Amino acid sequence: MKIARVEVDLTQQQLAEKIGVTRQTISLIEKGKYNPTLKLCLDICYAVNKTLDEVFWIEKENEYK
Amino acid sequence: MKKITDERLVLQNLKNIRIAFTIQTLGILGILGYDLVTKGLEGMRENPLWLVFIITTIISAYLSMSISTDHEMNKVNPQKRFSISLIVLILISTIVGFFVSFTDGFNITDGVTIGGILFICGLIPTFYIYNLRKKRQNQDMEE
């Protein structure tokens, strides 16, 4: 998500203001310490002009590693 | 003051309220427990906190009913369950009323009154849960 945000040239603060949350929330999502709701995920995607897939997709970890 | 729109903070706020509520309930229970030991059951019930505690418990019980109905794994027929509950309720109120009327110092009017009160008190939650189940059934049908 951080990459997507930097690509559209937004700071955490600017992105936070754009979607109506606090900067701390953006920071926690980027660190993976907060699990946002789907609604917030969509808002973030609209703000950075990307799809959910591009911003949030993580490959399922291989259990037999 | 600006309204909090950040979902994380709203959630955090709810969690904080839960902690405060737990502490408050423990405090109320502590005070009531102290009253129970020092003044007995009657003394405890004179304390207005007793009313607060009972009302909160009833509200919480009603609110958790809507969670229970959603949590029910197998689909239940609301009408059937309502009829079963109603029969059980009528049985219990009749038995209690019957025994009250035959207790020394009580007459048949007391028995009918107590049975009636018990029936009405039981009918309200039964009807409430019936409505919740019916609402859920309608939602399931729409899907």
Q: Which two tokens stand for residue B90?
A: 């009528």
Residue B43 Cα, gap to closest chain A Cα (Å):
49
Identify the weakest region by mean pLDDT among A11-15, B61-65, B139-143: B139-143
* Predicted confidence band of residue A62 (pLDDT cuts 50, 70, 90): low
* Predicted confidence band of residue A65 (pLDDT cuts 50, 70, 90): very low
Contacts of B5 in chain A (CB under 8 A): 20-21
Cβ contact A37–B7 (<8 Å)? yes
* pLDDT score of A3: 87
Cβ contact B8–A25 (<8 Å)? yes
pLDDT tens-digit readout, B77-132: 888 889 999 999 999 999 999 898 888 888 888 889 999 999 999 999 999 999 99
A65 touches chain B (CB under 8 A): no
pLDDT tens-digit readout, B16-40: 999 999 999 999 999 999 999 999 9
* pLDDT score of A63: 55
- Averaged confidence pLDDT in chain A: 88
pLDDT of B142 higher than 60:
yes
> Tell me, what DSSP letter sits at residue A34?
S
Q: pTM for the whole thing?
A: 0.72
H or E element in which residue A62 lies: none
Environment class of B109 (CB within 10 Å of its CB; exposed 0-12, middle 13-18, buried 19+)? exposed
CA-CA distance, B7 to B19, in Å (whole number)? 19
Q: Residues 6 or more apart from A54 whose CB is under 8 A from it?
A: A4, A45
Mean pLDDT within B64-88: 86
Mean pLDDT within B1-5: 81
* Predicted confidence band of residue A61 (pLDDT cuts 50, 70, 90): confident
pLDDT of B138 higher than 60:
yes
What number of other Cβ atoms are within 10 A of residue B86's Cβ?
16
pLDDT of A64 higher than 70:
no
